[in-house]
Amino acid sequence: MVAQRLQLGETLPETCRHGVITVGNFDGVHRGHQQLLALLRERARAVSGPAVVVTFDPHPLQLLRPADFQPVLTTLVHRAELLEQHGADHVVVLQTTPDLLYLEASEFFERILHRCLAARGLVEGPNFLFGRDRRGDIGLLGKLTRQANMSLSIVEEFTLAGVTVSSSRVRGELVRGDVRAVAQLLGRPFQIAGTVAHGQKRGQALGFPTANLENVATIVPGDGVYAVRVRHREKIWPGAANVGPNPTFGENARKVEVHLIDFAGNLYGQTLAIDFIERMRGVQEFANAAELRCQLERDIQRSRTLAAGT
């Protein structure tokens, strides 16, 4: 899917209009979002219109309170792909500007949802807030949709183990390195992507060459050694990834290094996507290279099993 970018005042293709709409950041496209998207698609099919997701770029917090902004869970491109997989016919990306953020709630509804998108219905969660200073709530949205003769469907929060699934909950589990729990919240393994850059070639000297990932645009799980799957072009490889420093060699910089099991070839400059399956252990300092090599052999053996078994 190619997301349709939209600036305030612009018009949209007719294919994006006269459907059922949902508005939000949808960072991570977790299982709560997926529940909402399923209802969005159902409501859109009932009116023979498109299921349209309206999201924002950049994230509004980057303009409003940049000090509070947290790294995203998904890039815009990956988010659009996931939204499509879970039911969206179109993803409309609103360009976040001060003019957009200063729209009062009723003006946002009128200009974006009513006139620009010609929405026939809306689907939102119970805590949806919109407009300047997030002053618009579900009560106001209900009033505005009734006046505009639009339907409004409210999706209850999705809970797991009695706790609401949210982007902040996903982020917290990632910081702890619990990628197994994250996969339960997302309904899939957590993924990062980056470009392979030249490193110290420590792994190659030990017999386990690693790809050093740079330009990772999303949050990275907490420090540790992980069983992963590595997506390279059209193929998936089992792998072992180290996130964090390399204390054995006195290196304190936080890095993401991944060994592709059974892979041979040059990856420099290429993009890899890494699916995190399980955290196997923390970052450790070893007495010497031989001790580290023995541990890496055990890590790789376990990674192969874990990557194949989930």
Tell me which residue range forms the domain holding 59.
Answer: 4-158
Give the count of beta carbons closer than 10 Å to the beta carbon of residue 225. 24
The per-residue pLDDT for range 172-218, each reduced to its tens digit, is 999 999 999 999 999 999 999 999 998 766 555 566 788 999 999 99
Say whether both 153 and 15 belong to one domain: yes
Instruction: Mark whether 86 and 231 lie in a shared domain.
Output: no
Residue 290 has pLDDT above 80, yes or no: yes
Same-domain check for residues 273 and 211: yes
* % pLDDT > 70, the chain: 95
Same domain? For 143 and 194 the reply is no
3-state DSSP assignment of residue 191: strand
Same domain, 65 and 173: no
* Closest to 221 (Cα-Cα) out of 277, 304, 272: 277
Choose the final residue of a domain: 117, 134, 158.
Answer: 158
Residues 37 and 32: their CA atoms lie apart, in Å, by: 9
Do 154 and 170 belong to one domain? no
What long-range pairs does 161-165 form, CB within 8 A, spacing at least 24? Answer: 164/32, 165/30, 165/31, 165/32
Q: How many domains does the chain have?
A: 2
Q: Does residue 57 contact residue 97 with C-beta atoms inside 8 Å?
A: no
Same domain, yes or no: 209 and 253: yes
For residues 120 and 260, state if they share a domain.
no
- Tell which of 91, 126, 158 closes a domain: 158
Query: Residues 146, 183: one domain?
Result: no
Q: What is the pLDDT of residues 4-19, one digit of tens each?
A: 999 999 999 999 999 9
Q: Are residues 255 and 115 in the same domain?
A: no
Same domain flag for 185 and 134: no
Q: What is the CATH number of the domain that holds 211?
A: 2.40.30.30
